[in-house]
Chains A and B, each alone.
Chain A
Amino acid sequence: MNSFNFNLIKNKNKVFGFSSVLILLSLIGILYSSFYTSFKKPINLGMDFIGGNELRIERVCEEQCEQISPDLVIEKLRKLSDKKNNLNNIKLQIQNNNSLISIRTPYLTIEESNNLIANVDKIVGPLKYETKNSRIIGPKLGKKLLTNCATSLLVSLFAISLYISIRFDRKYAFFALIALFHDLFIVFGIFSWLGVLLSIEVNSLFAVSLLTIAGYSVNDTVVIFDRIRENLKQDQENYNKTIQISINESFRRTLFTSITTLIPLLTLIIFGSYSLFWFSISLSLGILIGSYSSILLAPSFLIKD
């Protein structure tokens, strides 16, 4: 009757093994990132958290923009600038067929930032000022944002845990939470690796994505545990078998839900604004891992030897 027939009882150890490998890889990423990188943090914190200045602006070009190397631009910028220190740690990229300039520097005042843009204009101008996107975040605010995100995460994890433990008995609640932390840890680990390998930075939207993943993952696990409880009420003798039947019954639903949530996220990745790109990626990863953990990992804990 049901097209899905996964033998969880037999493959329980494979599931545990797979999750352990993922956790281990994440742990290695986090440790490597903490000790062997220039930033020495478990994850590569972006300017939201450490302060800085980010600038994106398009060039006005007829047909095709002239090619110019970023190093040359930086060199010219140094010549034009009086305050040399502001150009330490500058990162300059030229994208989209040489038409888009993006610059990252440590914290600058508005005036210094304007001077920088004026100098860029002198070198690769004219610039399209209507497309300018500039963010300046002071180091003080960055620290505040970091603690703010950390507290939001902790408080909402606590609130979700509380809800789950009221809603289920202790055993179920405990396993649902393990599955949840498993998901968050792996997504965090993936971004640690991304930070190490591709210098991808995380900003406050990453913290938001972790929170959303938490809600989603718990929701998924709750649905499956609900099903298991319901079926166990009818048939308590074949305990392991009933659990296996329950997950196979829920399989379609979990798969479909993941797909219907992933579709809008994929459209965001493809069409959406660049500022939402990594946010959508992290949400998609979280949903994939969350679905896996709620359909396979969490029920595996319930199966008795």
Chain B
Amino acid sequence: MKRKQGWLFFIIFLLTFSIYLLINFPLQLGLDLKGGSQLTLQLVKEEGKVTKEELEAVNSVLDKRVNNLGVAESNLQTLGRDQLILELPGEQNPLSASRILGKTALLEFRTQKVSTSSELKNLQLQRFKISELIDRFNNGDKRNDLYSLVIDNLSEIENDIKYTSNKKELFDKLVDTKKYISNEIVNLFNKTDLSGKDLINAGRRQEQTNSNWEVSLSFSNEGGQKFADITKSIAGTDQLLSIVLDGESISEASVGSQFINTGITGGLATISGNFSAENARELEVQLKGGSLPLPIEIVETNTIGPLLGSKNIVKSLYAAICGLIFVGIFMIFNYRILGFVSVISLIFYGFFNLALYSLIPVTLTLPGIAGLILSIGMAVDANVLIFERIREELINGNTLIRSIDSGFLRANSSIIDGHITTFVSCLVLFILGTNFVKGFAATLGIGVVISLFTSLNCSKTILRFLTTYQSLRQKNLYLSRSNPL
């Protein structure tokens, strides 16, 4: 008897502890319940597999960029071997995040090859023309002759640079041609050993003369020296200095003859490439974070409005509570006192589950809730198995206490088998599944483990406690109306 009471106290202690946990450590809700954006980023590597070090390196660069982005409570974590997941709660528009994260942001400084001035000037002119066409397209110029006008202009440019894009859509053609021109421009420049790695900081400010923005760079000591050497080598000539970002020249500038002796010293430089406020901020964040060791691609974007999220919570809550109530009615109707016991242990089951979610912690998502609700069914299953056995024993004429004991004993192996098969499925899903699926596997798996405890132990303890009262020991209270003794 003492041992049994020990269990009762233990269960009551667990229940109190669970409620304490739930009050002090609220559940973490997934984005589908609180609203927000989730981006899945895939590392792209041409050959071979992405190594752990590369994943870590990309992670740390992106982490810095996300921090500089200034979104509260954003969360970046690795997924599998070659993916990262970024969660932006509340942020309705993932566009700016995607632009900042998606770029490699490899910054290079290049010097112009000797006597290529006329070539460069022509390419710069063509680039200006094509940028204008693209702008016109983007700004939604709705004139009817826009198409023929753009096509005429494009073929002029194509003739000049002797390149025809093989893209099908007009807009894609424009973008592709611009890319070709930028590439040609970069080819007119020689690489130097100065790059984004030599930066210690970046900033932005509005230009004094007009509304454009510029991005300022500060070099490390070594970088400053390199920059001085490079500028010295082309000062006073017609060779330009180009700043190349991800293979595209974003600014070409001449170095005045006053720097011929020392080069530009002081370790500071500015890029003024007609930036808008937003573009300048994006570049600043990217340069501060450093360049990505591997390019990344955004392969999945999920956006859920906050109102939809709270609707999802309400809906799931309804489903869970109604499920619990109807199952409870069904059980009490069929098993009477036993059913009542199962309802109590189901309530315990619910609390233990939620407490474990906040302890581990498990982030609750919609599939996760589905797993929890489904696991209610599985937890009841164990009770049904036991109660059927008890019922049989009772009908066979055994005493109540003996029937209860042997019912629990004989249902044991079936219950454990059933739970193990479900647990195996959950384990596989958790290891191999995607983020979305993991939530379901986690809650169902935890549910299965807890159900083993509540169905085998809680139900038994409560039942034993109830049967200590003489008035609750009548056999008829344990059989349904359709099966009286």
Contacts and interface: CB of A to CB of B under 8 A. Distances in A.
A63 interface: no
Interface string A1-13: 1010000000000
Contacts of B312: 273
A261 interface: yes
Interface in A198-249: 204-205, 207-208, 211-212, 214-216, 218-220, 222-223, 226-227, 249
A157 to B, nearest CB: 9
Contacts of A226: 413-414, 417
Given A83-B171, A223-B414, A263-B330, A129 B319 contact: no
Interface stretch (B244-252, B381-389, B398-406): B381-389
A216 B374 CA distance: 11
Contacts of B168: 85
A141 B300 contact: yes
Interface residues of B, number: 80
Nearest to B314: A271
Of A207, A261, A263, chain B has the most CB atoms within 10 Å of the CB of A263
6 contacts: A135-B300, A148-B434, A263-B327, A271-B319, A276-B366, A276-B367
B433 A148 contact: yes
Given A83-B169, A128-B305, A268-B373, 6 more contacts: A135-B301, A204-B434, A205-B437, A219-B419, A226-B413, A271-B318
Contacts of B334: 256
Interface string B112-153: 000000000000000000000000010010000000000000
B417 A272 contact: no
A76 interface: no
Interface stretch (B202-210, B421-429, B470-478): B421-429
B434 A276 contact: no
Interface of B: 32, 35, 40, 42, 92-95, 98, 137, 140, 168-169, 171, 297-308, 311-312, 315-316, 318-320, 322-324, 326-327, 330-331, 334, 366-367, 370, 373-374, 376-378, 380-381, 384-385, 388, 392, 395, 413-414, 417-422, 424-429, 432-434, 436-437, 440-441, 444, 482-483
B433 A130 contact: no
Interface string A142-163: 0001001001100110011001
B319 A205 contact: no
A215 B370 contact: no
A305 B413 CA distance: 30
Of A214, A227, A253, chain B has the most CB atoms within 10 Å of the CB of A253
Contacts of B324: 264
Nearest to B40: A141
B305 to A, nearest CB: 4
A145 B438 CA distance: 13
Given A130-B35, A156-B425, A261 B378 contact: yes
Of B92, B95, B434, chain A has the most CB atoms within 10 Å of the CB of B434
Contact of B434 (A145, A214, A260, A268): A145
B327 A264 contact: yes
Contacts of A257: 377, 380-381, 384-385
Nearest to A51: B299
Nearest to B137: A82
Contact of A130 (B308, B315, B482): B308
A141 B308 CA distance: 25
Given A1-B395, A132-B305, A268-B370, A260 B384 contact: yes
A134 interface: yes
A256 B391 CA distance: 14
A93 B233 CA distance: 64
Contact of A152 (B304, B419, B420, B433): B433
Given A219-B418, A256-B384, A134 B303 contact: yes
Contact of B417 (A138, A219, A260): A219
A179 to B, nearest CB: 13
Contacts of B370: 268, 272, 276, 279-280
Contacts of B94: 110
Given A219-B422, A272-B370, A136 B417 contact: no
B139 to A, nearest CB: 10
Nearest to A152: B432
A19 B203 CA distance: 71
A160 B302 contact: no
Contact of B308 (A84, A132, A207, A259): A132
Interface in A101-132: 110-111, 113-114, 128-132
Contact of A156 (B308, B327, B330, B424): B424
A131 B305 contact: yes
Given A132-B92, A133-B303, A160 B319 contact: no
